[in-house]
Amino acid sequence: MRVTEPPPATAAGVKKGLALPGNADRARMAEPFRPGELLDQSLTAALGPVDDLTGEAIAGICNDALHAVLGPAVVGELFADRRLLPVIAPWVLDLARGLHYHSRHGSPEPRTISLLSRLGGPCVPAAEAVRLAETVDLAAVLTMGRVLEQVLGPGAGARDPRANDAAAPWLAGLKLGSRIHLVQELLRLLPPPGTGGRS
């Protein structure tokens, strides 16, 4: 009995939902992360958008940081399955937040109460903002050691900050972005004004 080989698969002949990515899709997956994949939409709504040149610069710094921290093999896996980014390297999204803020407001480093005012707007009364800022600052202190170890290795939190800054020139942006993220999460958890949970 003669066995014939099946014809080559075509777009029309591949079962729905099982089609392999085409050349264009594979090429896109191998590309570095683009600004739209890194920038936080809610932060953009609060701060305003960055221009194309600034967005590309932020993405370039973030992609370089990924390569420096994770190495080309792991970064290649991230490029191939971009859904893994917030699982494997959530810190790079904080780096993008910090760079975004700096691009809009420059230096010096903002106080947490200023971040609450800028991101929370009039919904956060001044008296409450002081208390909330203290909460965020405490959380930042408690979590920064873990963040540093994620990007610089074990023991980074106990090293001389100048050595850490020299090893990762973008570290200031990451620290700011991590604090911004804490502010965003705190604001998200607060009950809406007028519901009885806030003054």
- pLDDT tens across 77-101, in order? 999 999 999 999 999 999 999 999 9
- Within-domain flag for 183: yes
| pLDDT beyond 90 at 165 | yes
Question: What pLDDT score was predicted for residue 11?
Answer: 39
Question: What pLDDT score was predicted for residue 67?
Answer: 97
Question: What pLDDT score was predicted for residue 147?
Answer: 93
Q: What is the pLDDT of residues 147-157, one digit of tens each?
A: 999 999 999 98
The residue type found at 138 is: L
| pLDDT beyond 50 at 12 | no
Question: What pLDDT score was predicted for residue 93?
Answer: 98
- Within-domain flag for 9: no
- Within-domain flag for 17: no
- Within-domain flag for 133: yes
Q: What is the mean pLDDT of the chain?
A: 85
- Within-domain flag for 196: no
- Within-domain flag for 13: no
* pTM for the predicted model, two decimal places: 0.81
Token pair recorded at residue 172: 């200031």
Question: What pLDDT score was predicted for residue 194?
Answer: 60
Q: What is the pLDDT of residues 26-61, one digit of tens each?
A: 445 579 999 999 999 999 999 999 999 999 999 999
Q: For residues 27 and 33, what is the distance between their CA atoms, to the nearest angstrom? A: 12
Residue 196: which pLDDT band, with cuts at 50, 70 and 90? Answer: low
Residue 107: which pLDDT band, with cuts at 50, 70 and 90? Answer: confident
Name the residue with higher pLDDT: 127 or 137.
Answer: 137
| pLDDT beyond 90 at 108 | no
Q: For residues 112 and 160, what is the distance between their CA atoms, to the nearest angstrom? A: 24
- Within-domain flag for 147: yes
- Within-domain flag for 87: yes
Domain count, the chain: 1
Q: Which of 48, 46, 56, 62 is nearest to 95 (CA)?
A: 62
Domain span at residue 141? 23-189
Please classify residue 115 by burial: count the beta carbons closer than 10 Å to its beta carbon, then call 0-12 exposed, 13-18 middle and 19+ buried.
Answer: buried
